[in-house]
Amino acid sequence: MVYKGPSRGCYTCRKRRVKCDEQRPECGNCKKRKQHCPGYRDLFDTLHKDETPTVAQNKKPPKKIPKTEVVDSPISIKDDVDLRQMIKAPSVPPTPTGNALILIEPSRDAQAECLAYFFSNYVNIPRDPSTNIFIEHILPLYLNAPANSALAQSVNAVAINITQMWMSRYTDSYLARQTYANAVGLLKTALADPVESKSDDTLAAVFLLDFYDSLNKRFVGFIDNGTHQQGAVALLRHRGKENFKTPTSQRLFTALRSRHISYSMQAGQRIALNEELLAEETAVLPSAKLDLINAELADLHVLASEGAKAMNLTSIEFYKTIIRKALAIDKKLGAWRQSLPKSWQPVAVPSSELHPSIRAAGVYGDTVDVYSSLTVSHVNNASRSSQVGALRLMALCKRELEALGVDVDPRLGSHLTTRAQEVIDRFCASVPYHLGNRTTLRFPHEHSEYPHVPEELRKLANYVDPFGNPVEMTQEDHIRAAAAIGGWFVMTPLTGFLKSPILRGPPAKPGPLVSSIRPGQLDWIRGQMQRLQNIYGLPTAAAYYTGPSTDVRLSSPDDVYPKVLNRQLWQV
C-alpha cells in the first residue's frame, strides 16, 4: 500500500479506521451515525509532528534541495528567529513594500508565520489618521507586551485563525483554539489584578478575543452571545478616566464603544453605556460621531419593539412618535455626511475608465465611488446602513398609520423613496472599490485589479503607518488591503440583505421600502452576495437566515404583539 501522508479525516473516522469524506464542519459518516463530529486535526499539526528518538536516529540524511524562499516578499522567516525581534530589527522597515507575504509552505514555527502573514496583510498598511479601526493600532502594543501576556496570546490566536482561514479555508483549528484558551486564562489573571485590569493591554486583549469570535461566527456557525463585548463594557466603566488618559486609550475606548453599539443594534438591545461614556466631547473622529448617532438609533429600535403600551400612548401617537424620532436621526445622519472632511468624500470614476475585468465582475451604473482608504469607505457605508435603519422604521410606521385610516403627509413617502434610492445607489457604487475584479477564491498576494485611488485624494489623506509615522499609500498597498479585508467591510450591509426574504428569491414580496428600488437593482445585489460568498467561501444565504429570532415587534391597534417585523437594517 502506498503511503500518502497523514490522514486528514476527522478524529472519529481515524479512530474507527474508515475513510472520511472530510466534509466540514461535520463529516458525512458522523452525520449518518447521528453523532457529533469532533472535527479535524490542525493542518500545521498534521504536517509537523514531533519525531520519536528512534525515528530521528534511524532517519536518513535528507537530500540536498534548493532553499525555498518566500516569493515576492521582503520578509523571510527563519525557524530560530523570534517574530518580535524580526519586526524590531532595523533591517526590516515598519511598512514593507512590494507584494504581501504569502506562505508557500508552512515552517516548523507555524505561529511565527501566521503572525507575519497577519501583520503584513491586515495591520502594517498605510491608514488615514482620522479613522479608527483599532486593529490598525495593535502592532505597537503587541511589540511592548510580554510574550506570555493575554494581549500577546490574543494576537497570536487571531493571527492563526485568520491565516488558516486563507490557507485551509477553515477557522477555529486546534492550534487557534489552544492559543485562544491560553489567552482567556491569562486574561482572567489580569482581570483579578487591580492595576492590570485597568491597563490598555487588558482591554485590547478583550477586543481581540471578541474579534476572534466574530470570525468563527462567519465560518463555523459560532453563536456570538456578546460575552467579550459585554466584558469590555464592564471594563470601560471600571476604567473611568483611564479611558482618556493617552491617545491609545482613547482610540481603544472608541473602538470598543463602536463595537458595543453595533452589537446592540444587531441584537435589539439598549445601549449599556452611561452618559459619561456617550458624551459628545468623547467623539472627536468622524467614526466616533457616527457611533453616537447609532446609539440613538439602537435605542429607538428597542423603543419601537416595546410598543405603544410601554410608552403609555395610543397606537396612532406611538407610530407618529417613532416617525418623528426617526426623522430626527435621519437629519443628523445627513448633517454628519455634510461635515465630513474632503479626504472622506468619494471621487466618482467613470466605469469606462476601469479595467475590463472589473466591469465584467460587477459594476452598477455609469460610475464607481473611490475613497482615500477602505476604512473611510467602510464608515461611509456604515452610515448608509444606519440611514436605511431610520428610513425602515418610518416606512413601517407609515404603512401602519395608513392601515388605520390615518392621512400621512405625502412628502414623507417621497422622502423615503428618494433617500432610500440615493443611499443604496451609493453603496452599490462602492462595491467595485472593495472587491475589484475578484469573483473566486484567491490569496491576498495574487494579483487583482482594483479601481485606482486618484493622486489628489491620496494627498488629502495624510497617511501614517501603525506607529504614526507619515507614509505614502500606493496602489499596491490598496490592492493588498482590499484583497485581505475589502470584502469584509461590505459584509454587514450584504449580510442584512441576505437575511431579507425578498433577496432570497425573486418570487418573494418586497416590503414598503425595498419595493421602491429601481427595477433590476435587487438582482444585481443578489449577484454580488453570491460573489462575496464565492470569494470568501462563506455559507449560503439560507445559512445566514435565522428566522424569527431576528424579528422585532411593533405595536398594533390592540397593543398585543400584532405584527412581526424583521430588525435587520436592510430588511424592508
- What was the pLDDT predicted at 6? 59
Kindly tell me if the per-residue pLDDT of 547 is higher than 50: no
CB 155 within 8 Å of CB 112 = no
- What was the pLDDT predicted at 379? 92
What contacts 171, CB < 8 A, 6 or more positions away?
A: 161, 164, 165, 215, 216, 218, 219, 220
Cell of 420: 432610500
DSSP alpha helices (H): ranges in 196-246? Answer: 200-219, 227-239
CB 109 within 8 Å of CB 77 = yes
- What was the pLDDT predicted at 560? 26
- What was the pLDDT predicted at 63? 44
Name the pairing type of β-strands 563-566 and 551-554. Answer: antiparallel
Query: 172 versus 295: which is more confidently predicted?
Result: 295
Kindly tell me if the per-residue pLDDT of 56 is higher than 60: no
Query: 465 versus 134: which is more confidently predicted?
Result: 465
d(CA 552, CA 568): 9
Stretch among 21-35, 74-88, 144-158, 279-293 having the lowest mean pLDDT: 74-88
Q: Which helix (H) or strand (E) holds 303?
A: helix 286-311
Query: 501 versus 410: which is more confidently predicted?
Result: 410
d(CA 132, CA 251): 7
Q: Tell me, what amino acid is at 427?
A: F
d(CA 457, CA 377): 13
CB 438 within 8 Å of CB 535 = yes
Q: Is the dihedral of CA 62, 63, 66, 70 positive or negative?
A: negative
| Residue 138 pLDDT grade (very low, low, confident, very high; cuts 50, 70, 90) | confident
Average pLDDT, the chain: 77
Cell of 180: 485562544
Stretch among 95-104, 118-127, 174-183, 220-229 having the lowest mean pLDDT: 95-104
Task: Identify the DSSP state of 406.
Answer: -
CATH of domain 11-50: 4.10.240
What contacts 505, CB < 8 A, 6 or more positions away?
A: none
Task: Identify the DSSP state of 553.
Answer: E
pLDDT in tens, 152-202: 999 999 999 888 887 766 667 888 889 999 999 999 999 989 899 889 999
For 324-351, what is the mean pLDDT? 94
What contacts 197, CB < 8 A, 6 or more positions away?
A: 190, 191, 235, 238
| Residue 340 pLDDT grade (very low, low, confident, very high; cuts 50, 70, 90) | very high
Query: 48 versus 148: which is more confidently predicted?
Result: 148
Coil, strand, or helix at residue 217? helix
CB atoms within 10 A of CB 302: 17
- What was the pLDDT predicted at 512? 65
Share of the chain above pLDDT 90, in %: 31
Query: 470 versus 216: which is more confidently predicted?
Result: 470
Coil, strand, or helix at residue 182? helix
Query: 88 versus 320: which is more confidently predicted?
Result: 320
Query: 29 versus 217: which is more confidently predicted?
Result: 29
pLDDT in tens, 60-82: 444 444 433 333 333 333 333 34
- Single out the residue of 230, 491, 503 nearest to residue 382, CA to CA: 491
d(CA 239, CA 226): 20
For 492-499, what is the mean pLDDT? 56
Instruction: Supply angle C-alpha 214, 439, 489, rounded to 5.
Output: 35
Share of the chain above pLDDT 70, in %: 75
d(CA 64, CA 79): 18
- Single out the residue of 224, 210, 82 nearest to residue 158, CA to CA: 210
* Cα→Cα distances 26→161, 222, 299, 489, Å: 19, 14, 39, 29
- Single out the residue of 307, 217, 299 nearest to residue 265, CA to CA: 299
Q: Is the dihedral of CA 281, 282, 284, 288 positive or negative?
A: negative
Stretch among 218-227, 279-288, 388-397, 455-464 having the lowest mean pLDDT: 218-227
